Structures are given as C-alpha cells and as structure tokens.
C-alpha cells in the first residue's frame, strides 16, 4: 500500500523529535572485550554462531576471495536503486546475486536476478546455451561461490550451533555488567517502538503474492539446508562520504542499516562469509563510478531506515567520541533483539575470512546491521529464499496458463478468448500485471547490467516479453467484449469490473515505474546501468494492440459501467 507523503513526513518528524529527546543517551551494547559479552551471546543471541577463518577447509579462502575480486573487477557489483518508504535511494553497498539458475531475490521493491552458479559435474550435461552464458572467468568465480555454498549447507546443519566457536579468547571476563549508564526508559521505549514499527513494514516475511498454490516443496527444515542464492555485498568505506551513524547504540558507521532479511523461508538460516581486503580491487569496466564518481550528493539507503540528510546529521550529533572509536578498524555485524530495549545490543567483530551463521529464528526475532571497518570488504550472504513466485520456471508456467485462453482460428487468422468465465479473466489479468511489473519492468529497470557479463536471462526475457504482448492482445479482446453493446454476454458488468480494476492497477504501476526510471538519482547512472522504461511504446504504435497510456480506455470502461 502506498502511504501518503503527509503521513511519511509526520512519521519522520516524530522520529526526529524522539532522536533529539534521546540526546546523548544510548542503549548499551557489548563487544568481545566487555564483561558479560559471552553470557549475553548465550542468553540472548543463541542463534548466532561464528565460524572462524582458520577452521575453513584448505584452499577455500583463496578460491572464494579471488572469485569475489573477479566479480568486482568485472563490474558485476552495483549499487541498487531501491525504494524505501516510497523514496528512491541507492544502497550504500554494491551487490550482485549469484545462485540457482532462474532464481530471483526480491528486497526493497527490487527483484535481483541470479548470475547462475555452475556446479560440479554440470559441464557436458547442460545444453550449449546454458553452458556459455558467462565467460570462463566468471564461470569459475560462480563455481567457487557454489563450493562455498556447499560447505555452508553441510556446516550449518552439522554445527548444531553450540559446536561452533562463539568467540575469541578475549572474553574470559564474564561478569554481567553492561557497560553504559542507565537511560530514560520512556524515551527509549517510544523510540524503539517507533523504530520497530517502521522496520517491520519493510521486512515482510514470506511470499508477498497471493498466487495459486505453488508446486514448491514444503519449507526447509533445519536438517536439510539448501541455500539457493548468495547475495554478494561490497563496500569501500574510503569511497563513501555519507555513511550513517548507528543511531540507537552508538555502534559507529553503518554500511547496512538495521533490518531483518526479507523473503526467506521461515526459520531458514543465513550463512555469511566476510572478506576484508586491504586495497580496493580495480574495477575494469566502470572506472567512472569508482571513488569520486560516487556522487557526494546521493542519498544512501540503510535498509528499513531511510532517513533524510538532516536526520543523518542529527543522529550523528551528540555521539560520545569514545563510542565511535570503539573497535573502529574492524568490520562488525551488529545485532539487537527486536521489540526489546532491555537487552543490550551485540557487536561481533569479523576478521577477514570469518563466517557467521544466523540460525533458528534469529532473523525473525532479531535485527542485524553491518558496521563499517577501515578497509574495503566483501561479504557473501547465503540464503534460502522463498521462491514460490520468484523463479523463471514459475513465471513461465503462469504465462502459459494465461495464454491457454487465447484461441487462434488458423483458417480465418483471427484470435479470440476461449473462456469468458470471470475467475479465468481475473486470473489472466493478474498474470498480465505480474509479468509486466514483477519481471519485465524489474529487469529493465536495472538497465543492461545483466546482459553485459552474462546472457542467461536474455532469451527468457525476450520470450516473456512476447508472451506479455499476447496478453496485451487478450486485454484488447476483452475490451471488445465489454464494449460490444449487442453482446448477449450476461455477466458483462462483472467482466467490465474486472477489466477496469486491472487497467487501473496497470496504469498506476506504469506511472510508478516511469517515475522510478526518471528520478534524479536514476539520471546519475552511466548509460549501461541506467534504468530502461521497458516495455514502452508510443500510443499510436500500429504494432501494439493497446496504447501505453490507458487513461482513455479506463474512462471508456468507467462510463460504460455507469450506463449499465
Ligand atoms: O555483510 C554482512 O555481513 C551482512 C549483510 C546483510 O545483512 C545483508 O546483505 O542482508
Ligand atoms: Fe541482512
């Protein structure tokens, strides 16, 4: 649901006031050197586990690290232009999705499409086109990430969390005395409630579409973990001028703000490989975008926390200096219990090569953020994404389902709708909108970035566009039925209603995507990354069954409904 600008403004105003009220006070959080750290971990963050760098299989680090550098060098890692509470923002981190061929992952109104990973023994089995979607360099890189994925799949289930080392040797002291002074509960309570309320809205768990029953297997149980994608993150803090301070605990600069991971299979774990590299690897393809190229004026997203520049300034003010200094050289993951202001937060430092797991319902009951260190850093975050409506297979089946209702008379060379059953028509118009807005426009909005280094999605997207065009034809046929005054069709009114709703939705969504494509932030992108508003056609394009702008047709159907 779209919320009005007014209520957005009001929310931001309240939040700003609460942050001002909180002033210099911060909620306590513990780091490994603080007394009580280990106890806090055991009691309140038990779903978190650390797999230290030195305990990974031989050779895996080298493979994975060189794979990550390859992805960066080849220009595969890009900042996403996401939507946070109706506003366009760039993610502070650059990202790419690698995973099962044909899978996608949706976060913050953005559907990422996988660069397929290639698994062992696959060569020779796949048909030619799949085998050569990327060059051998990228194929090797993706294969290394698949190997890491295999390791995580078996490790995360063997490691019934307690088996993994929780911490380093610097936590002997287990006295339970949270480091910082008391704070005014009332202010914090309200602040936290506000914060949670806002964040929850951004973190819909589970499937967001009410689609027909899917053939997907039941949710993974913890004994059988199959991570199906990894979202790769990269950030060089020295190139970023706009990192936000962590506002509630004073943990320091955030690369990724507080959030729950979205769209995962409930209770599924997340496994993260962390690689801090001393120097920024050169990006061959997009030299323009490096360093200074990242405009200082751009706002950056911190998932679920989109705040204005003024707020960022205010949040930074009043921070105790020594709090900012704490552990500042090391990258860390921050954790907090959701809906709870009494439990101190936890900051887990990550040495290069360290991995951590979020298991059980940690992702649901807690939020996490990423705190920037001094060096550039990659992470590979392996997930079991909810894929009931997110695979190419799924959407192709949906398209076929819709097109079944299009009957071609080969003799007369005419087309007609086989069934005019309202439920069938409703389903077809839903599919039409789904394929246009969840797939075609999502794909093209991210520009030509995929096709640049991997051709896997090119053909399927072309086919999908053809199918979608057939659906435009079907809507045109439906319009003709509704407008035929002489029809004996008894449920004409019901059909007109269905059509009107679908067209109104379509018109609105087309406008939203046009706005996203034309936003001032979108204009800052280099040509090959710039959003493409596709499909787009002029209203009198003879090749297209219906105009792009549906307002005339919507008016026609509306007035027709009045007269019925
Ligand atoms: O980089 C990390 O350690 C975690 C990143 C993260 O939370 C995410 O991508 O959702
Ligand atoms: Fe996350």
Higher per-residue confidence, 14 vs 178: 14
Question: β-pairing, 87-99 with 78-84?
Answer: antiparallel
Which ligand 1 atom is at minimum distance from the Cα of 368? Answer: 7
Residue-wise pLDDT for 3-34, tens only, equals 456 776 776 776 677 667 667 788 999 999 99
Greatest alpha-carbon span in the chain: 86
Residue-wise pLDDT for 351-380, tens only, equals 999 999 999 999 999 999 999 999 999 999
| Residue 89 Ramachandran class (φ > 0 left, ψ -120 to 50 alpha, else beta) | beta
Residue-wise pLDDT for 52-88, tens only, equals 999 999 999 999 999 999 999 999 999 999 998 889 9
368 lines ligand 1 (CB under 6 A): yes
User: What integer best gives the mean pLDDT of the chain?
Assistant: 82
Residue nearest to atom 1 of ligand 1 (CA): 379
Which ligand 1 atom is at minimum distance from the Cα of 356? Answer: 3
Residue 261 Cα to ligand 2 midpoint, Å, equals 5
CB atoms within 10 A of CB 5: 10
Handedness of CA 247, 251, 255, 257 (dihedral sign): negative
ipTM given for this complex? 0.99
Measured from the alpha carbon of residue 95, the closest ligand is 1
Higher per-residue confidence, 381 vs 2: 381
Q: Model's pTM, two decimal places? A: 0.82
Residue 318 Cα to ligand 2 midpoint, Å, equals 27
Cα 211 to Cα 434: distance, rounded to the nearest angstrom = 10
231 lines ligand 1 (CB under 6 A): yes
Residue-wise pLDDT for 200-246, tens only, equals 333 333 343 433 444 444 444 446 899 999 999 999 999 998 899 99
Coil vs helix vs strand at 356: strand
Mutate to test the pocket of ligand 1, among 379, 380, 382, 384 (most ligand atoms within 8 A of CB): 379
* pLDDT above 50: residue 558: yes
Cα 228 to Cα 98: distance, rounded to the nearest angstrom = 9
Higher per-residue confidence, 187 vs 354: 354
* pLDDT above 70: residue 392: yes
Residue-wise pLDDT for 466-491, tens only, equals 999 999 999 999 999 999 988 776 78
Q: Give the model's pLDDT for residue 12.
A: 73
Query: Which residues hold their Cβ within 5 A of ligand 2, which is an ion?
Result: 261
Cα 105 to Cα 112: distance, rounded to the nearest angstrom = 5
Residue 399 Cα to ligand 2 midpoint, Å, equals 32
Confidence band, pLDDT 50/70/90 cuts, at residue 271: very high
Mutate to test the pocket of ligand 1, among 332, 333, 380 (most ligand atoms within 8 A of CB): 333
Confidence band, pLDDT 50/70/90 cuts, at residue 158: confident
133 lines ligand 1 (CB under 6 A): no
Confidence band, pLDDT 50/70/90 cuts, at residue 262: very high
Contact 150, 64 (CB under 8 A): no
Q: Give the model's pLDDT for residue 270.
A: 98
Contact 323, 248 (CB under 8 A): no
The CA R_g of the chain, rounded to the nearest whole Å, is: 26
203 lines ligand 1 (CB under 6 A): no
* pLDDT above 60: residue 496: yes
Which ligand 1 atom is at minimum distance from the Cα of 272? Answer: 3
Cα 87 to Cα 433: distance, rounded to the nearest angstrom = 22
Mutate to test the pocket of ligand 1, among 381, 383, 384, 385 (most ligand atoms within 8 A of CB): 381
261 lines ligand 1 (CB under 6 A): yes
Q: In Å, how far from its chain's centre is CA 53?
A: 27
Side-chain-facing half-sphere of 281: CA atoms under 13 Å = 23
Mutate to test the pocket of ligand 1, among 257, 366, 370, 375 (most ligand atoms within 8 A of CB): 370
**Cis before 535? omega within 30:** yes
């Amino acid at each position: 649901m779209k919320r009005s600008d007014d209520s957005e403004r009001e929310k931001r105003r309240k939040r700003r006031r609460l942050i001002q009220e909180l002033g210099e006070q911060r909620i306590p959080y513990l780091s490994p050197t603080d007394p009580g750290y280990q106890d806090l971990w055991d009691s309140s963050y038990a779903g978190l586990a650390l797999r230290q760098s030195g305990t990974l299989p031989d050779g895996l680090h080298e493979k994975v690290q060189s794979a990550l550098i390859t992805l960066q060098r080849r220009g595969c890692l890009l900042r996403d232009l996401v939507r946070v509470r109706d506003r366009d923002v760039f993610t502070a981190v650059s990202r790419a999705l690698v995973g099962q061929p044909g899978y996608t992952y949706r976060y913050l109104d953005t559907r990422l499409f996988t660069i397929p990973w290639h698994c062992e023994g696959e060569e020779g089995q796949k048909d030619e086109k799949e085998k050569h979607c990327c060059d051998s360099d990228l194929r090797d890189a993706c294969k290394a990430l698949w190997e890491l994925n295999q390791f995580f799949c078996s490790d995360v289930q063997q490691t019934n969390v307690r088996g993994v080392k929780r911490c380093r040797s610097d936590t002997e002291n287990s006295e339970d005395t949270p480091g910082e002074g008391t704070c005014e509960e009332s202010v914090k309570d309200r602040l936290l409630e506000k914060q949670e309320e806002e964040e929850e809205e951004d973190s819909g768990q589970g499937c967001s579409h009410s689609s027909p029953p899917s053939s997907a297997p039941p949710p993974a149980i913890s004994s059988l973990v199959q991570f199906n994608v990894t979202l790769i993150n990269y950030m060089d803090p020295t190139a970023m001028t706009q990192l936000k301070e962590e506002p509630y605990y004073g943990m320091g600069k955030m690369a990724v703000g507080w959030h729950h991971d979205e769209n995962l299979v409930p209770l599924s774990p997340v496994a993260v490989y962390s690689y801090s590299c001393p120097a920024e690897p050169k990006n061959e393809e997009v030299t323009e975008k490096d360093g200074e190229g990242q405009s200082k004026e751009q706002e950056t997203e911190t998932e679920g926390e989109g705040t204005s520049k003024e707020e960022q300034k205010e949040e930074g003010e009043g921070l105790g200096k020594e709090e900012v200094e704490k552990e500042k050289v090391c990258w860390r993951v921050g954790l907090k219990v959701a809906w709870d202001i009494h439990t101190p937060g936890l900051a887990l430092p990550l040495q290069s090569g360290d991995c951590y797991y979020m298991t059980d319902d940690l992702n649901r009951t807690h939020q996490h953020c990423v705190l920037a260190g001094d060096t550039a850093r990659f992470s590979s975050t392996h997930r079991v994404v909810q894929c009931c409506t997110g695979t190419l297979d799924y959407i192709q089946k949906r398209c076929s389902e819709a097109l079944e209702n299009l009957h071609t008379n080969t003799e007369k060379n005419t087309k007609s709708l086989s069934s005019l059953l309202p439920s069938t028509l409703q389903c077809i118009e839903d599919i039409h909108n789904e394929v246009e807005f969840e797939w075609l426009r999502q794909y093209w909005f991210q520009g030509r970035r995929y096709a640049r280094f991997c051709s896997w999605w090119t053909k399927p997207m072309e086919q999908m566009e053809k199918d979608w065009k057939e659906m435009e034809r079907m809507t045109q046929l439906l319009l003709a039925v509704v407008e035929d005054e002489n029809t004996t069709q008894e449920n004409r009114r019901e059909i007109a209603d269905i059509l009107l709703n679908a067209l109104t939705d379509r018109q609105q969504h087309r406008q939203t995507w046009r706005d996203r494509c034309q936003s001032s932030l979108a204009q800052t992108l280099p040509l090959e990354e710039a959003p493409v508003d596709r499909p787009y056609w002029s209203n009198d394009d003879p090749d297209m069954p219906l105009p792009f702008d549906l307002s005339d047709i919507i008016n026609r159907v509306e007035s027709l409904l009045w007269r019925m």
